[in-house]
Amino acid sequence: QMWLYGLCLVGGGLSLLYALSRWLIPALAQYNGSLALLWNDTILERALDLLTRSSRPQRMLAHVKRHAARGDPQSVIDAIDYFCRHKEWAMNVGDEKGTILDSVVCEVSPGAVLELGTYCGYSTMRIARLLAPGARLITLEFNPANAAVARQVIAWAGLEHKVQLVEGSSGDLIPQMREKFGIDSFDLVFLDHWKDWYLPDTRLMEELGLLHKGSVLLADNVICPGAPEYLAYVRSSPRYDSRYFKSHLEYTYVEDGLEKSVFPGASAGSRP
């Protein structure tokens, strides 16, 4: 009887753990930003990495190769969105905020774009597929493993000829834009890397003259996980005309958004 009782306790505990991990915690994470990041980006990712002996970017790449049509950027984007909604959450800009990114790219029609934070290449593809012939997109990724996956994802979409992916720290690479990459200034900068780097990198671009009159900064995840110092700066500085696009944290119902900041010169105002 004791062993049967113990077996029931173990079985009940495992059933409860399964229910928590399979349904309850993911459901709660849809509405709580801190829980979403802790559960999806720390606990679940590390557990799956250990179980599968692979990384989330590698699993995402495998899904793309199985389900996306080669040479079709939209098919690759759709495959990643499906993976992130139904298999494993990942911190891409996502489909909802992605449409805002698309609209800004089309509005600006940039000749030179800088993306800070490539991750697996999702937003890189969204930008690159909308660029006019001859436009340049330079994307910077600090993590070599992520960069290796992103190159394959971008190539699978057939967009490698439009993208220059560079590995390294944004603080080291931004000062090399003129000498090493031949860029005088950027028409559009998409900030989607470490949130506490948003403001230092913006100030660095200002100091180096990489922003011209009319340059647009578009920053992701300004609410969740948040970039409060950056938001305070672009919203209060007379150098920017700044606007918030309310949306949701990728693949959840948690509020998040994009901050679009135009650099028209010292006479510009700021609006929330």
Digit-by-digit pLDDT tens for the chain (272 residues) are 566 555 565 555 545 454 445 556 677 788 999 999 998 988 889 999 999 999 999 999 999 999 999 999 999 999 999 999 999 999 999 999 999 999 999 999 999 999 999 999 999 999 999 999 999 999 999 999 999 999 999 999 999 999 999 999 999 999 999 999 999 999 999 999 999 999 999 999 999 999 999 999 999 999 999 999 999 999 999 999 999 999 999 999 999 999 999 998 654 444 44
Host domain of residue 46: 12-53
Same domain, 132 and 38: no
What are the residue numbers of the active site? 192, 195, 220-221, 250
Residue 121's identity, in one-letter code, is G
The answer as to whether 88 is a domain residue is no
| Domain identity same for 143 and 258 | yes
Task: Flag whether 168 is in a domain.
Answer: yes
Q: Is residue 235 part of a domain?
A: yes
Q: Are 141 and 167 in contact (CB under 8 A)?
A: yes
**39 and 159, same domain (yes or no):** no
| CA 127 – CA 103 distance, rounded (Å) | 10
CATH number at residue 142: 3.40.50.150
Is residue 75 situated within a structural domain? no
Is the domain of 133 the same as that of 257? yes
CB 192 within 8 A of CB 117: yes
60 within a domain of the structure (yes/no): no
Q: What was the pLDDT predicted at 29?
A: 83
Angstrom distance (rounded) from CA 108 to CA 111: 9
pLDDT at 26: 75
CB contact at 8 A, 78 and 100: no
Domain membership of residue 211 (yes or no) is yes
111: in domain: yes
Residue 22 lies in a domain: yes
Residues 17 and 112 in one domain: no
Judgement on whether residues 99 and 228 belong to the same structural domain of the protein: yes
Angle between helices 56-67 and 144-156 (to 10 degrees): 10
48 and 108 part of one domain: no
pLDDT score of 270? 40
Q: Do both 191 and 112 map to the same domain?
A: yes
Same domain as 144, residue 25: no
Based on the fold, state whether residues 253 and 125 are members of the same structural domain. yes
Tell if the pTM clears 0.85, that is, is over it.
yes
Q: Angle at the Cα of 61 (from 55 to 63), degrees rounded to 5?
A: 105
Which phi and psi angles does 269 have, rounded to 5°?
-100, -170
* Residues 141, 208 within the same domain: yes
Q: Which residues pair with 242 in a beta bridge?
A: 261
**Residue 111 near residue 136 (C-beta atoms within 8 A):** yes
Number of domains the chain contains: 2
On whether both 143 and 195 belong to a single domain, the answer is yes
